[in-house]
Structure 1
Amino acid sequence: MKTTSINNKTLFLKKALHWANGFSHCAFFQSNGISYPYQGFEEILAVGVKRIFVPNEIDRFCSLSAFHQNKWLFGYLGYDLKNDTENLSSNNADTVQFPEISFFEPQHILFFKGNEVETWSEEDVLGQIERTELDLIQSKLTKPTASISQPEYLTIIEKLRQHIEEGDCYEINFCQEFHGEIETVNPTQLYLDLNQLSPSPFSCFQKHGDHYILSASPERFMKKDGNKIISQPIKGTRARGKSETEDEILKKDLRTDKKELAENMMIVDLVRNDLARSSKIGSVKVEEIFGIYSFQQVHQMISTITSEKREDMNAFEVIKNAFPMGSMTGAPKVKVMELIEHYENTKRGAFSGAAGYISPNGDFDFNVLIRSLFLNSSSKTYSFQAGSAITYDSVPQKEYEECMVKAKAIISLIQQGA
């Protein structure tokens, strides 16, 4: 373990990510210094592999627990792990072919604290980073194609409203995919560009062989700190205004919108139930409800729910008991996941799963994989998705516009290289 001061952190990080991309696996997390309840991600770069997780197909949460062995693990949980928690299946088209789960124990870990870096490695990784030549290749991705047309989208929203009217569900998160082809790609620079366009508290870059995750997520799925569990679902979105005055009007509009408040309340109730499965009786608390937080692209309504873990529950049971997150499914959870499979025409894959890290003592932090670009460098394909929560009061055209607001940063990123 060695602590070193960095003179030019921006350049060092750029070189470090390019160096990390030379390995089969790497993962970088940062919060961009954004103030957030219970803080955003720690700033960590994990590189290379000592061990790669090979899951038991029967229960991948259980086999991940056995793989942990009190070591640092980095990776992601794909949405289709829902099939491990419930009697469900996933048969839609898969554009980018991501593994449903991927974790690794790294060879090298760099922990950043301001302008200092603490290195855990048996090699001179700082020297390797300093000697790294920057990749100057420009990324060029084809124009994204929507998986469903706007008229089809509006028709589906009406059908989902009918399901709600008939009592099948109360709220459902419906997503659409945008996909295209990779002509040339510089994944690390593309991630840095996305992070500049849309800095977020749960930003991450991951490489798992040919698969890359470039995430500008504003949402935490779940964090475990000692015996404390924290979940912070997002429900409610407004685009940023063109001025401070317009921003204030939009924030007030979001905070008083009955539909958005109802959406958020339903998901808070669902998360309370999810956390209760792993928590001491009476310990589940809603610390903040309907909090309004502003990011570079959007204003979001965020609630914070906490609890105290039961002593007989390990970290992986806590994750499994709440997965997939209510903000990306709806209520009741099993029924809406069946409807999602029926009405969405592509697999979610890693999207709306969770990316994060697990420490040796079993503490963890995971985001919700939204506002994220997924690249497959082998098949030369890319994908991103955007969705919104549908309730009976939903106006289909407004829901479509909300999706496009959420997709704005990634569409801008792709257009920059066009």
Structure 2
Amino acid sequence: MLEFLFSDLNINAEDFRRKALHWAEKFAQLAYFDGNNIPYLYNGFENLLAISDAKTVGFSGEKVFAALERISTSGKFWCGLLSYDLKNQVENLKSQHEDFIGFPEAHFFEPEIQLTFSEKTVGISASKVATEEILHQILTTAIPETQPHEISWQSRTSEEKYLENVRHIQDHILEGDVYELNYTIEFFAENATVFPVQLFEALNKKSPTPFAGFFRLNDSVLMCASPERFLKKAGNKLISQPIKGTIKRGRNPKEDAFLKDQLLNDEKERAENLMIVDLVRNDLSRSAETGSVNVEELFGIYGFQQVFQMISTVTAQARPEENLASILKHTFPMGSMTGAPKIRAMQRIEQYEDHRRGLYSGSIGYLQPNGDFDFNVVIRSLQYNAKTKYLSYKVGSAITIDSVPEKEFQECLLKAKAIMEVC
């Protein structure tokens, strides 16, 4: 990998990254990860861009875990996505709703070109094109003027139906069927004309997060502003950071402090968070050295542009034989997006939701040559099919016996606020 100083290139880091992303949009496979330099326990995503036009580099479809096993020990760098529907290969489950976006259950690719960004430098590596030629193409890429999007949003679930379903879910909780269930709804637009990179830039600026990303696989596009980490492996250490608990930001520091304290001391939010922490501890224990699972931070309150979030950090020491494939079998999908107990919650999700989650509440991330990896939870995101012009975003909340249905609906709208404001 060759490294270049932005000062020598007479361009600042932000302008270069923007040019690089617009230049890369023409490729069939594109993965961009941005930690937005946000302070975060165990850091956020590395800032990198990976692209490929090769048709045979990636894998997708059935028998994903056999393919994951192969790449886990390949000694190469991979970028990939894990759709929520991969649950059907983890457990005996199914997805019955129509898929309008077209992401596969999983897909990974080995980049032909990779760029790694720091505050002062960019590193470039390529397998088929001269590094200097790539640099020239990026520097001469014009950033297009912002173009208006043509979007008319619809809700797939009415507020009345949402409230009715929440009450049905609470009946299941009373019966002991589930303890907590993450229930989500979809807002969508048909015949939407959007410019995905520009839309991602607007979303990332409006709501910068430590696990933001842009992923394109042919006509299917993800624009992601996620604050949540699913799973990271650093050496033999596993790190999971589930989010449960949300409150809006204040209009001034005094109101901020009041709301932050309100979230920290909210018994319902703490109960939700604790249930998922217990689920994550159990998931990680299946890949961990005996006695190594540890809750490093419980009920941490983190501020983002739009909201405060309650985030806990659970770690473990992975057994030597564990790799990406085996660890995902034990942990996917993230418990914060299902509920508890996990399998029963996913069955009830399929019963009450009227949309296919697809990549939403799945994950995007990367696998390093040494076997380390980092994956987010795909929330606060837009999905788009450039061929059919179908645009979608999904939001949800954790339903417990103490939930007030009307408040849960308002929480969904709060989480969608940043998306609605850029669309």
Match status 1:359 vs 2:363 = no
Cα separation, 2, equivalents of 1:183 and 1:156:
29
Identify if the C-alpha distance between structure 1 residues 139 and 66 changes in structure 2 by more than 3 Å, giving closer, same or farther: farther
Match of 2:87 in 1: 82
**Which residue in the other structure is 2:206 paired with?**
197
Deviation by residue 1:186-219 (Cα, 9 ceiling, x = unmatched): 2111111111100000010111111111000000
Matching residue's letter, 2:181? I
| Partner residue in 2 for 1:376 | 385
- Asked whether the 8 Å contact 2:60–2:104 carries over to 1, the reply is no
Q: How does 1:13-412 map to 2 (within 5 A)?
A: 13-50=17-54, 51-55=56-60, 57=62, 59-68=63-72, 69-121=74-126, 122-123=129-130, 124=132, 125-136=134-145, 138-412=147-421
Work out whether 1:3 is the aligned partner of 2:12: no
Secondary structure at the counterpart of residue 416 of structure 2: helix
- 8 Å Cα contact 1:141/1:180 also seen in 2: no
- TM-score w.r.t. length of structure 1: 0.96
**Maintained 8 Å contact 1:164/1:170:** yes
1:78: Cα distance to partner?
Answer: 0.2
Contact 1:95 1:179 (8 Å CA) reproduced: no
Instruction: Give the residue type in structure 2 aligned to 1:13.
Output: R
- 1:179 is displaced (CA, Å) by 0.5
Contact 2:100 2:385 in 1 (8 A): no
Question: Structure 2 unaligned runs (5+)?
Answer: none
The question of whether the paired residues in 2 share the 8 Å contact of 1:142 and 1:180 is answered with yes
Distance (whole Å) between structure 1 residues aligned to residue 172 and residue 243 of structure 2: 23
- Residues 305-332 of structure 1, C-alpha deviation per residue, up to 9 Å, x if partnerless? 0000011212221122100010000000
Q: Contact 1:30–1:44 (CA<8 Å) still a contact in 2?
A: yes
Any idea what the Cα deviations from partners look like across 1:132-187, whole Å, max 9, x if unmatched?
A: 23333614132221110001000000000000001001000000011103443221
SS at match of 1:398: helix
Cα 1:165–1:234 change in 2 (3 A) is same
Rounded to whole Å, the distance in 1 between the matches of 2:354 and 2:293 is 36
For 1:224, give the aligned amino acid: K
Q: Find the aligned partners of 1:53 and 1:374 in 2 and give their Cα distance.
A: 20
Aligned residues: 413
- Point out the more displaced range, 65-74 or 254-263: 65-74
Alpha-carbon RMSD across the aligned residues, in angstroms, is: 1.2
How far residue 53 of structure 1 moved from its aligned partner, in angstroms, is: 2.3
Distance in structure 2 (CA, Å) of the matches to 1:388 and 1:52: 37
Letter in 2 for 1:103: F
Does the CA-based 8 Å contact 1:28-1:204 persist in structure 2? yes
- Distance in 1, Cα, partners of 2:66 & 2:334: 18
- 1:95-118 residue CA offsets vs partner (Å, 9 max, x unmatched): 323222121111111111212011
Question: Quick check: 1:145–1:180 contact (8 Å CA) kept in 2?
Answer: yes
Structure 1 stretches of 4+ with a deviation exceeding 6 A read: none
Q: Which stretch of structure 1 is more off in the superposition, 271-280 or 126-135?
A: 126-135
Q: SS of 1:306's equivalent?
A: strand
Instruction: State, as a whole percentage, how many aligned pairs show the same letter.
Output: 49
Q: Kindly indicate whether the alpha-carbon contact (under 8 Å) linking 1:56 and 1:63 is maintained by their aligned counterparts in 2.
A: no
Q: Aligned with 2:344: secondary structure?
A: helix
| 8 Å contact from structure 2 (residues 97, 354) kept in 1 | yes
Taking the aligned partners of 1:264 and 1:3, their CA distance within structure 2 comes to 42
CA displacement at 1:302 relative to structure 2: 0.2
List alignment gaps of at least 5 residues for structure 1.
Answer: none
Structure 1 residues 28 and 56 mapped into 2: Cα distance closer, same or farther (>3 Å)?
closer
Contact 1:93 1:347 in 2 (8 A): yes
